[in-house]
Structure 1
Amino acid sequence: MTRPPLPETKRTLTLRDVSEASGVSEMTVSRVLRNRGDVSEATRKRVLEASKALGYVPNKIAGALASSRVNLVAVIIPSMSNMVFPEVMTGISNALEGTGLQPVVGITNYLPEKEEAVLYEMLSWRPSGVIIAGLEHSDASRAMLRNAGIPIVEIMDVDGEPVDAVVGISHRRAGRKMAQAIAAAGYQKIGFLGTKMPLDHRARKRFEGFTEALAKTGIEIVDQEFYSGGSALAKGREMTAAILGRHPDIDFLYYSNDMIGAGGLLYCLEKGINVPTDLGLAGFNGVELLDGLPRQLATMDACRLEVGQTAAEIIARRTSGEETETGQRIELSPKLSFGDTLRQP
């Protein structure tokens, strides 16, 4: 029996292959692909066309060995299922486009030990910069960030001491602003519904600012309902039913995020509760996905796109040498939207 011929062994393409295909020296090919040196436009075009036709991809690890850095920006965030972070990533990607830098994402699930592991792996590849969510890190993570020798930008929160640069909003101020609007509208019996806050520091800070501002007007939280897991409409419905079952006289519900707030709104509409006259509702994050609800939920925008874009711009400027300043602190101002669920004073 005749055996079929063995398939041709594939090998990794080299600069020599591109050199032979384009008819120029390997040094010229290297200059073109690294966008370095004085090369004519005609030669550049010939090299790029040959490289593309061959399917050649440069070995950037080899270049990184010389520079000790790769053109990657480590982006470390808690979740991609949360509606907040995809918009942050869009801002980062937009800002890095055309810079030669590429974002690579690590997910921590809000767990400090997972953040340590992800950060360790990311830094082992010697990225050009790090964008990381939050200001609360373990001692080990903070030590790694402090000694990385690259631009570090902590995002989403400015209530604390950053390792290097920070871009975000004050969550305590956001909580206070929402509480002031609720009190000014005449609501008195307030319930809070949200995530279990030991792991969600930004939600905790909003809650602290919220309760502090209410206390100054003589109002205390009547009841609280918490959950763990992803932000979901079903969770919002369940928690709203539970808290109203215990305290039917509550006249306002403040949710730690818009997704559970939307679930609460749907529950109230289903039960025929008069919103916002008898019961006011508000969330947080300004999620555009919810614009199609029968009523517009009162909320506050967390400036997600701008946060991502600003953080990435800091990394890009500093890695290019355009900017040498460290320790930038950029606080953005979220906007309160009354929607259809919060009476305007």
Structure 2
Amino acid sequence: MTLSRPPDTRRPLTLRDVSEACGVSEMTVSRVLRNRDDVSPATREKVLAAARSLGYVPNKIAGGLASQRVNLVAVVVPSLSNMVFPEVLSGISAALEESGLQPVFGVTQYSADKEENVLYEMLSWRPSGVIIAGMNHTEAARAMLENAGIPIVEIMDSDGDPIDSVVGISHRAAGRQMAEAIVAAGYRRIGFLGTKMTDDHRAQKRLEGLIEGLAEHGIELIDREFYSGGSALRKGREMTAAILERTPDLDFLYYSNDMIGAGGLLYCLEKGYDIPGSLGLAGFNGTDFLDGLPMKLATIDACRREIGEKAANIIIGKDTGGVIGGHRIELTPRLDPGDTIRKV
């Protein structure tokens, strides 16, 4: 079922909108959404389908609260175990510190269905804004965000059409930037290693950018090694061993993130590879822990803390002339060649 939203795109949806969309009374809609058992299964299904398609989220705030908003900002990220997102959250928290708003965090584990559930629960408490990682959402999640009637800031990515505001980098551009650095350093047989590639849309876009950038120089990606689990040093070692055993003449390995890249670097050093002479390596994110490795892994700084700060400033109207919403801020990723790319 596909339903159109009300003409006023900034007005939160109401029971009446759902009632009119599915052709039953507001009282019946209310009964269904309160899980009352005095509604027929067919009617229940019709109401829930209409609410889902419209993006309607029930209001859990007590009716007497005049503003019908709470001083919370919903922040939705894929992971807290990944070293990337704590720095983003630090930037958000720092920017909100004197605003009177408090961040509340939800984690999706890179699952689109879980993102829907997290958004549904968070929006039901009527936060003052939403900051959410990524621009790829299910239709239901996008409908909820579009109809929330509050500032929405999608972060980390800028390749796509934002719901409201967006703060991030172009991951396709980051992939192309790495391709240029690889080619300029004289590498020609490149392999790519990535985790969660089905669900990590940003890593997928970097891979697409890498392939496009290499193709402009008449170079094809030789091999790929994917893993569906999380990012860990041990997994990076295992993936590197697998791809080099399968394709031993590779001369460059590009990893979807620094963690598996660091594992790959440790493996290659242990096995005596000449780095960066015969084999170059690079990761992505620019995480601080790379400074503690025997060699500094090449990487691209994804501007994580700055993204968090700018997103929070949009929510509170700071540095935006007091106008909240409709902002597009694209930051420039920064390449750090470290010690694992040949000097040009």
Structure 2 CA distance, aligned partners of 1:289 and 1:184? 27
Cα distance in 1, alignment partners of residues 218 and 332 from structure 2: 27
Give the Cα–Cα distance (whole angstroms) in 2 for the partners of residues 116 and 92 of structure 1. Answer: 22
CA RMSD of aligned residues (A): 1.6
1:97 aligns with: 97
Q: Work out the CA distance in 2 between the residues paired with 1:206 and 1:64.
A: 48
Distance across 2 between alignment mates of 1:322 and 1:329: 14
How many Å apart are 1:96 and its aligned residue? Answer: 0.2
Determine which structure has more spread, i.e. the larger CA radius of gyration: 1
Q: Is the 8 A contact 1:258 1:284 kept in 2?
A: yes
1-structure distance, mates of 2:267, 2:114: 35
Q: Give the Cα–Cα distance (whole angstroms) in 2 for the partners of residues 277 and 247 of structure 1.
A: 18
Residue segments in structure 2 that go unaligned for 5+ positions in a row:
1-60
Aligned-residue offset at 1:336: 0.2
Which residue of structure 1 aligns with residue 331 of structure 2? 332
Give the Cα–Cα distance (whole angstroms) in 2 for the partners of residues 260 and 197 of structure 1: 13
Structure 1 gap segments, 5+ residues each: 1-60
When the two structures are superposed, what TM-score results if normalisation uses the length of structure 2? Answer: 0.80
Q: Alignment partner of 2:333: what SS?
A: coil
- SS state at 2:317 partner: helix
Corresponding residue number in structure 2 for 1:274: 274
Partner of 2:209: 209
Alpha-carbon distance in 1 for matches of 2:314, 2:74: 14
Which runs of structure 1 show a deviation greater than 2 angstroms over 4 or more consecutive aligned residues? 61-64
What's the CA shift string for 1:72-113, capped at 9, x where partnerless? 000000000111100000000000001110000000111111
1:63 is displaced (CA, Å) by 9.9
What's the CA shift for 1:324?
A: 2.4
For 1:219 and 1:287, the matched residues in 2 are separated by 29
> 1:142 maps to what in 2?
142
Q: For residue 230 of structure 2, what is the aligned residue in structure 1?
A: 230
- Assess, with a 3 A threshold, how the Cα gap between structure 1 residues 334 and 64 changes in structure 2: closer, same or farther: farther
* Identity rate, percent: 71
- Map of 1:118 onto structure 2: 118
User: How many Å separate the matches in 2 of 1:85 and 1:64?
Assistant: 36
Q: Deviations over 1:197-217 (max 9, x none)?
A: 221100000000000010111
- Closer/same/farther in 2, CA of residues 233 and 321 from structure 1, 3 Å limit: closer
2:304 maps to which residue? 304
Q: How far 1:181 moved relative to its partner?
A: 0.5
Residue 64 of structure 1 contacts residue 70 of structure 1 at CA under 8 Å; is this kept in 2? no
Report the AA paired with residue 84 of structure 1: V
Distance across 2 between alignment mates of 1:343 and 1:166: 35
Number of corresponding residues: 284
Please give the alpha-carbon distance, in whole angstroms, between the structure 2 residues aligned to 1:210 and 1:268: 22
Q: CA deviation at 1:286?
A: 0.4
The aligned residue for residue 49 of structure 2 is none
Alpha-carbon distance in structure 2 between the residues aligned to 1:152 and 1:305: 18
Displacement of 1:290 in angstroms is: 2.0
Secondary structure in 2 aligned to 1:209? helix
CA shift in 2, pair 1:183/1:106, >3 Å: same
Match of 1:182 in 2: 182
Q: Tell me how far apart the structure 2 counterparts of residues 81 and 195 of structure 1 sit (CA, whole Å).
A: 14
Tell me, yes or no, if structure 1 residue 288 matches structure 2 residue 288.
Answer: yes
Q: Deviation per CA, 1:311-333, whole angstroms, max 9, x where unpaired?
A: 00100117x99622521100001
Aligned to 2:154, the other structure's residue is in SS state strand
Q: Structure 1 residue 200 and structure 2 residue 197: aligned?
A: no
Matched with 1:18 is none
